[in-house]
Amino acid sequence: MTGRAVFLDRDGVVNRAIVRRGRPYAPRRLEDLEILPGVHDSIAALKQRGYLIFIVTNQPEVSRGSIPRHSVEDMHGQLQRELPVDGILACFHDDDDDCDCRKPRAGLLLQAARDFSLDLSCSFMVGDRWRDIEAGKRAGCATLFVDHAYAEEPPAGYDHRVGSLAEACALILAQRDPT
């Protein structure tokens, strides 16, 4: 049987983004990493329903030299210790690197689909920025936009708009299981 997954953006969906002048940024240090309320319970409920859970994140600050890679990996280790996720897939490139793994491209989702025999048409992408939603659409997933009213252009289109991962989880769990 082919598996189903829920892909979660990291900053702004799983953990609190650092918002400056209305724009979200990744935490720079492990001590700044704060898992958002309801995230653990939401992920646990999705896992109980049989979904694999992956955090998919762009971390271009590594390529830019503003955050050491080990700091990001320390944060990912902490997330994996605290949350029942099946994996964290990260792109450390910047736009100029023109890689397939940086969202809005779907490379991270497609790699997970290959590695875990996922049916992306029965999977979901939950994100708070246009790049997340576009990656989900390109991969063939249903998309849920977590709207934090950032001072930037929202995604051009998505399947559902929600205010948190808990709201996204409720919508996903309300979907009929494929037979």
Please identify every residue annotated as catalytic: 9, 11
Q: Which DSSP state fits 178?
A: P
Q: Which residues contact residue 84 at a Cβ distance below 8 angstroms, ignoring those fewer than 6 apart?
A: 40, 43, 44, 47, 53
Give which of 3, 5, 4, 7 is closest to 165, Cα–Cα: 7
- Contact by Cβ (8 Å): 60, 12: no
Q: Which residues contact residue 22 at a Cβ distance below 8 angstroms, ignoring those fewer than 6 apart?
A: 150, 151, 152
